[in-house]
């Protein structure tokens, strides 16, 4: 459905995207997760044809976005972080305008407006001016314009920003219902948003794609955590000798201590091996335990390593 290859974008000395690559299959709900400034909005603008990369390609289906952005945009529904709404227009008037901009057949305009309004819970607000709507309902109007031409792909940039808890729950429910007919990508810096909605998570940090995995893979892994009183420069090569041990990541610890996260297929089995190795090497072990990863711990570890 979507193939992104070696996507790179710079602004002067700042690298916004650095050789980003991933593939998304039809029907997935994908969370693009990262802090502010990670490159999420730049990536979305390139995917939607509004910004040209310095290098790399994006394909939506069989179309290269750079070769034919207008053709791609007919297959995409896009909600930017600050939706371009017109407060003086009624909801119906705005959606009719958007139907025209989407180049829909004129005899389909009214039906498309009614269908989009019903899908987003706006039927009883059609005659109301957008400027008088709450933030949650204005966000619904933005989603309605994104879905009215029945696109294959929906891209939402921070869809719940500025909403209160009740409005966030309503928007999440709406996004889930839209996934029955479209692939959805949405950017966010809110971990709970990803956990509540996503099948797959892309973690973007400083313009680099640091993780591309299914949510259950990120949440289900169990690692060994080793805390030492001091850093041991020979720890990684010594542990790497054991075939049962995967990757070893050094993380900051409190009070001068050093923390290591050690991946393994069977953390419970590897834990005694790590302890025996530490004792033999004379490392000052403060703690050794197994920890089941959450999305939060995975994100924090990646951010610290980055």
Q: Where are the domains of the chain?
A: 2-218, 221-305
Residue 266 is classified by DSSP as -
CATH no. of 221-305: 3.30.70.260
- Of the two residues 22 and 191, the one the predictor is more confident about is 22
Mean pLDDT computed over 87-106: 94
Q: What is the pLDDT of residue 220?
A: 67
C-beta of residue 260 within 8 angstroms of C-beta of residue 225: yes
- pLDDT value of residue 56: 96
| Domain range 2-218, its CATH number among 3.40.50.2000, 3.40.640.10, 3.40.50.300, 3.30.800.10 | 3.40.50.300
Average pLDDT, integer, range 59-72: 91
Going by their DSSP bridges, the two strands 29-33 and 2-11 should be labelled as: unpaired
Q: What average pLDDT is seen over the chain?
A: 90
d(C-alpha 237, C-alpha 52), whole Å = 43
Are the beta carbons of 117 and 126 closer than 8 angstroms?
Answer: yes
Q: Is the pLDDT of residue 254 over 80?
A: no
Over residues 255-265, the mean pLDDT reads 87
By DSSP bridging, strand 153-157 and strand 63-64 are unpaired
Q: At what angle do helices 135-147 and 165-178 cross, to 10 degrees?
A: 10
Residue 297: is its pLDDT beyond 80? no
**Residue 112 and residue 147 in contact, taking contact as beta carbons nearer than 8 Å:** no
Q: What is the pLDDT of residues 68-92, one digit of tens each?
A: 988 888 899 999 988 889 999 999 9
155-185: per-residue pLDDT in tens?
Answer: 998 888 888 888 888 888 988 888 888 999 9
pLDDT(31) > 80 = yes
Q: What is the pLDDT of residues 202-248, one digit of tens each?
A: 999 999 999 998 888 777 678 899 999 988 889 999 998 999 998 89
Taking 70 as the threshold, does the pLDDT of residue 306 lie above it? no
Tokens matching residue 188? 């966010």
pLDDT for the residue 266 = 86
Q: What Å distances lie between residue 100 and 103, 107, 110, 220, CA to CA?
A: 5, 11, 11, 47
What integer is the mean pLDDT of 256-274?
89
Query: CA 100 to CA 187: how far, in whole Å?
Result: 27
Positive or negative, the Cα torsion across 216, 261, 36, 255?
Answer: positive
């Amino acid at each position: 459905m979507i193939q992104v290859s070696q996507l790179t974008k710079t602004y002067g000395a700042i690298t916004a995207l650095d050789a980003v690559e991933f593939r998304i299959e039809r029907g997935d709900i994908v969370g693009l997760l990262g802090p502010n400034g990670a490159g999420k909005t730049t990536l979305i603008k390139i995917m939607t044809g509004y910004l040209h990369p310095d290098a790399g390609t994006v394909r939506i289906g069989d179309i290269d976005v750079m070769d034919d952005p207008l053709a791609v945009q007919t297959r995409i529904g896009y909600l930017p972080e600050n939706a371009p709404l017109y407060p003086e227009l009624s909801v119906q008037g705005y959606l009719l305008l958007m139907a025209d901009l989407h180049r829909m057949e004129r005899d389909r305009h009214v039906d498309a407006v009614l269908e989009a309004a019903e899908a987003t819970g706006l039927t009883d607000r059609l005659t109301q001016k957008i400027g008088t709507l709450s933030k949650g309902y204005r966000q619904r109007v933005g989603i309605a314009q994104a879905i009215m031409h029945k696109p294959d792909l929906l891209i939402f940039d921070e869809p719940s920003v500025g909403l209160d808890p009740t409005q966030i729950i309503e928007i999440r429910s709406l996004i889930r219902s839209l996934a029955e007919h479209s692939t959805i990508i949405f950017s966010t810096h809110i971990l709970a948003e990803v956990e509540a909605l996503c099948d797959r998570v892309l973690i973007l940090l400083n313009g680099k794609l640091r993780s591309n995995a299914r949510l259950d893979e990120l949440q289900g892994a169990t690692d060994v955590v080793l805390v030492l009183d001091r850093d041991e420069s020979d720890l990684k090569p010594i542990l790497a000798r054991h075939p049962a041990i995967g990757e070893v990541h050094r993380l900051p610890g409190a009070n001068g201590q050093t923390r290591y996260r050690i991946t393994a297929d069977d953390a419970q089995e590897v834990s005694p091996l790590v302890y025996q190795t530490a004792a033999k090497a004379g490392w000052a072990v403060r703690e050794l335990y197994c920890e089941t990863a959450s999305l939060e711990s995975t994100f924090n570890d990646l951010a610290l390593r980055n």
